[in-house]
Chain A
Amino acid sequence: DQQVKQNSPSLSVQEGRISILNCDYTNSMFDYFLWYKKYPAEGPTFLISISSIKDKNEDGRFTVFLNKSAKHLSLHIVPSQPGDSAVYFCAASEKGGSEKLVFGKGTKLTVNP
């Protein structure tokens, strides 16, 4: 059951450049999407979210783009910093986020100084 897919297990970028993490979903009932960041030995930390009524949401260096027709979302981090190195999880939910979260497998981002 792969309702949420992150096809790149890892990504490596140089400090100062853009990081683009991708996520695809299959369930048309999803209407709320989130990105979480996770460091080793810690729980997922909420980063940014987007409702299906929008196609973009921005928060500082982080921007999430949603393409509903393609069932695709992406997280852009610019400029990337070494402290951004972590595993990034895409998650999706129905009914505006009050329902369970369905997670992707995660993408490990490494930002090299």
Chain B
Amino acid sequence: EPEVTQTPSHQVTQMGQEVILRCVPISNHLYFYWYRQILGQKVEFLVSFYNNEISEKSEIFDDQFSVERPDGSNFTLKIRSTKLEDSAMYFCASMDDNQPQHFGDGTRLSIL
């Protein structure tokens, strides 16, 4: 069964550094999402992406965050200057019309 693939599984970064989280959505899916889960808290929406542009973003998704679909297969989340509070599990999801969102296994981001 097709899967959403995320790399790396664990990323450790110094505060203030830039980090890029990578995702390969399921082929032929049209809608792409990033969510995050801070330890002990809910899974929360960050951003959705459709037709090569952001369709919705949450309050969390400020100017430090950006997303890109550089080559038609990858979908990346960049955090420009990481803060301690960015430490979380980051999940990528993709979806086709009239289907549920499928999630990757996540990237655990640890900011030191």
Contacts and interface: CB of A to CB of B under 8 A. Distances in A.
Nearest to B105: A43
Interface stretch (A17-25, A55-63, A64-72, A102-110): A102-110
Interface stretch (B42-50, B69-77, B80-88): B42-50
Q: Interface size for chain A: under 10, 10 to 19, 20 to 34, or 35 or more residues?
A: 20 to 34
A97 B43 contact: no
B105 A96 contact: no
A106 B105 CA distance: 17
Interface string B56-68: 1010000000000
Interface string B11-25: 000000000000000
A75 interface: no
Contacts of A28: none
A97 B42 contact: no
B27 interface: no
A98 B102 CA distance: 12
Nearest to B46: A100
B25 to A, nearest CB: 13
- Residue from A41, A42, A98 having most chain B Cβ neighbours under 10 A: A98
A103 B33 CA distance: 14
Contacts of B41: 105
B43 A89 contact: yes
B97 to A, nearest CB: 8
A99 B102 CA distance: 14
Interface string B79-102: 000000000000101010111111
A98 to B, nearest CB: 6
A41 B105 contact: yes
Interface of A: 34, 36, 41-46, 49, 89, 96-106
16 contacts: A42-B105, A42-B106, A44-B91, A45-B103, A46-B100, A46-B103, A89-B43, A99-B56, A100-B33, A100-B58, A101-B43, A101-B45, A101-B93, A101-B101, A103-B42, A105-B42
